[in-house]
Amino acid sequence: MKKWLLAMLFGTVLVLGACGGGDDENASEKPADKDDTKTEENGGSVDATAAEGVYQDNCLSCHGADLSGGNGPALTDVGSKYSSEEIADIIKNGKGSMPENMAKGDDVQLLADWLAEKK
């Protein structure tokens, strides 16, 4: 019984340690392989660095650091499902459990244009 309890305790600590994280200091750092601040897909008109900053401030907690989802759906290929205008409408008005006005002003269109390129 002691071995079983010890194994369960060790397993629990291992799982919680793996999920814990808590090191958000580097979450806002730009990936090393992205030198260009303008995206190529849109003729260089979207400032990817600024868009990523808006994403991190407003969307990351639900959609994940790598757009893979979490509490909210994955956004890795959202551009194949919605246009920039439709994404901007979702950001402004919400959809499903997503609240409205997750970004404001010019950030809405910047974020929508950036996400529309995710195909």
Contact (Cβ atoms closer than 8 angstroms) between residue 53 and residue 110: no
98 is in an annotated binding site: yes
63 is in an annotated binding site: yes
Type of residue numbered 106: D
Contact (Cβ atoms closer than 8 angstroms) between residue 54 and residue 44: no
19 is in an annotated binding site: no
- DSSP E strand stretches across 1-119: none
Dihedral sign (CA 106, 96, 69, 85)? negative
102 is in an annotated binding site: no
- Three-class SS state of 70: coil
- Residues placed in the known binding site for heme c: 59, 62-63, 98
- Residues placed in the known binding site: 59, 62-63, 98
